[in-house]
Homo-oligomer: A and B are copies of this chain.
Amino acid sequence: MRKCKFCGKETGIFLREHRLALCEDCYPGWIEKQVDRTIKKFNMLNKDDRLLVAVSGGKDSLSLWQILKKLGYNVSGLYIDLGIKHNNYSELSKEKVINFSKKIDSSFYIISLKDEGLDSIDRISKIYRKTCSACGAIKRYYMNKISVKEGFNVIATGHNMDDEVTTLFGNLIQWDESYLDRQFPVMPSGDGFAKKVKPLVFISEKQSAMYALTTGIDYIMDECPYSKHATSISYKENLNMLESKHPGILRFFLNNFFNSKSKKGLQIEGSKLEIKECKICGAPTYLDICKVCKIKENINR
């Protein structure tokens, strides 16, 4: 058995990509330090920021919530109840969030699609073939709305490294330059949109799950039932196989991509399109009527 690099205790936790053995007691602190480094490297946060963390009840977002709290940031959660009935997904994930907020003694907000006139993702999935895309638009809309309403100046999301590399790979396959230009762990505020950060961008899915396990986070293990057949899952499997053959390659890939942008001093912009106010709800949008109001219209038609 290997020995923990920090305390010498025998351990089964070994991070191949870092050639690092850590025991379950030393592991959480190491992860927190990695996240702290990412936050500083990309100038993500200051201690006087008011942070809203989008939490789904899964390992990544709950871990992020806890890490930010431990690192001393002023942070609240936002849970969006999507009304997904399969395996009682939304009900269970809400419970996990409520219990976890008590455990770490952090306040949180709940938005329910039902209360907002959006019914549920179950209903929306029957109208929108690209359910994940519609769901993403809704989540971004309410993250932004709550942050403006409640005075949060930064939104943090729990996207992990595997998510981020998969998105990068998908954008490269399509060679979508508008997405490639905008893929960065920090998006500055502007035009009515809050600043957005992804502090777990260099924490792999495995590392995140291990963090949740070693710190006793009770998270929902089910994946969202709508994401199961997504192309991104297939890309992720493929990239995981690459990683298993070349430990560290995904981190290297993502880091090179971000560094090339940083080196260029590239100004990461939200979009080059003109920003307008939605004619129905007044939210910032690139269209006349924002996507969420459009979805509401289609649901209630």
Instruction: Please determine whether B173 and A259 come into contact, CB atoms closer than 8 angstroms.
Output: no
Closest to A231 in B: B246
Instruction: Output the least CB separation between A248 and chain B (Å).
Output: 11
- B-side contacts of A241, CB under 8 Å: 238, 241
With A177-B260, A241-B241 already in contact, the answer to whether A172 and B234 are too (CB < 8 A) is no
B-contact 0/1 string along A171-206, CB 8 Å cutoff:
011110100000000000000000000000000000
Instruction: Output the least CB separation between A193 and chain B (Å).
Output: 27
Q: Does A294 contact B (CB under 8 A)?
A: no
The contact of A260 among B175, B234, B249, B257, by CB within 8 Å, is B175
Closest to A172 in B: B172
Instruction: Please determine whether B177 and A253 come into contact, CB atoms closer than 8 angstroms.
Output: no
Instruction: Please determine whether A173 and B238 come into contact, CB atoms closer than 8 angstroms.
Output: no
Q: Does A110 contact B (CB under 8 A)?
A: no
Instruction: Output the least CB separation between A40 and chain B (Å).
Output: 22
Provide 14 A-B residue pairs closer than 8 Å at the C-beta atoms, listed in order of the A residue. Answer: A172-B253, A173-B249, A173-B252, A173-B253, A174-B256, A175-B253, A175-B256, A175-B257, A234-B245, A235-B242, A238-B238, A238-B241, A238-B242, A241-B241
